[in-house]
Every structure is written in structure tokens, then in C-alpha cells.
Amino acid sequence: MALTQMALDSLDFDATVALAEKVAPHVDILEIGTPCIKHNGIKLLETLRAKFPNNKILVDLKTMDAGEYEATPFYAAGADICTVLGTADLGTIKGVIKAANGYGKQAQVDLINVADKATRTKEVAALGAHIIGVHTGLDQQAAGQTPFADLALVQALNLGVTISVAGGVKAATVKQVKDAGAGIIVAGAAIYGAADPAASAAEITALAH
């Protein structure tokens, strides 16, 4: 069984809350995407936290520096998972893990654009990272890339860390991703681009669970 995560990537505050209202009953984790959090700030997290007590919330901070300082206010405001970039200094990654542990929450290391993914995954697992994010970015998807090969690579390391997979996953590929060892499956466009986002979210979650 894999958890499902809905990536909220609109920039508009009200549109983000409205979409979350539609999909929240049908997914496990609500993600506030990076452009969305930079646009709207911590107030959006506070709003979603109050409205959706039954969902976990991931804030895609993609922290690159000042790890503990940057992540702490978001855990304090109710984030369950914050992300830190795999291309960051290990001191930064350590800081986010420390902040997460201080609140009994989780830190996710995003492998987006990391050159040596195996080495970095081992390093951050040793630091105590809770989740490894295999992530083919939007700009990389536009260039035709997918996350499947990287998922197989990280899974083969067999480190016992939860693996999250993001990068154009849709209903047709959910089962493949789950069988390949993903613990969390992220869907964005496949849900918000659907005519009926709630139905699409329910379909993806049924396949993942």
C-alpha cells in the first residue's frame, strides 16, 4: 500500500483552498507546492491545517540553506512533512531533520537534479531523513524525463527509508510506481487537470492503497 499525495500548484490562495476541499477526502497528504508557498506564505498552511485535520500536510519548501531556521516555523504551524533539497549542504539537510524531530514530524530530501543519487541517498538516510523524494521536475518533464529509473535505483539501495515519487504520475502508471516500491505517490496535473478532480483523486488512491 502506498499513500497518495495531491500537489497543489496553483498560485491563487482561494483556488488552492477550493481544490483542496474537493480532493482532501480522497487523498492522504495535501502538498502545498513550492511556487504556491512562496506566493502565499505561511498563512496558507495555517488555513489548510485548520480546515483539514484528517490529512497530512507537506510543505514543499525545497530548502537550500538555513535548514533549521527556515523549516521550524512551518512545523510549528502544523506541517507534517517539509522538504529540503538533496543538492543542499549536508548541514542544511541535518538542520531540517533536527527541526522535524523536534516537532515529531518528518523531513523529506528531494533528489531533484542530484547528480549522484545513490551516494546522496545513503548520506541522508544515515543522517536520519524520514522520506526520500524521487522527483522529476516540471522543467525536466517538459524535456521528456520520467522518475521510473530513479525509483528503481533508490529502491535497490534497500535503506528502509520511505520513498516518495513525483513527476507526472497518473492513473495509468500508479500501479507500476507502487509495485516498484513507492511508499508515497504524488499526483498533480492528473488530478487538478481532470474534469472531475475528486473522482480522479479517488481513482488514484484506490489504485495506490
Chain contacts with other proteins (rule: CB under 8 A): 9, 11, 34-35, 37-44, 61-62, 64-67, 69-70, 73-74, 85, 87-89, 91-92, 95, 112-113, 115, 137-140, 142-143
CB of 126 to other proteins, least distance (A): 17
Relative orientation angle of helices 197-208 and 13-23, to the nearest 10 degrees? 50
Nearer to other proteins, 67 or 147 (CB): 67
Q: Of 74 and 192, which CB lies nearer to other proteins in the complex structure?
A: 74
- Closest contact distance (angstroms) between CB of 165 and other proteins is 15
Residue carrying C-alpha cell 504524488: 186
DSSP H or E run through 37? helix 34-40
Task: In angstroms, give the least distance from the CB of 28 to other proteins.
Answer: 23
Shortest gap between Cβ of 183 and other proteins (angstroms)? 22
Q: Is 43 exposed, middle or buried (0-12, 13-18, 19+ CB in 10 A)?
A: exposed
* 115/172 with CB nearer other proteins: 115
Q: For residues 132 and 111, what is the distance between their CA atoms, to the nearest angstrom?
A: 7
The count of other CB atoms within 10 Å of the CB of residue 176 is 12
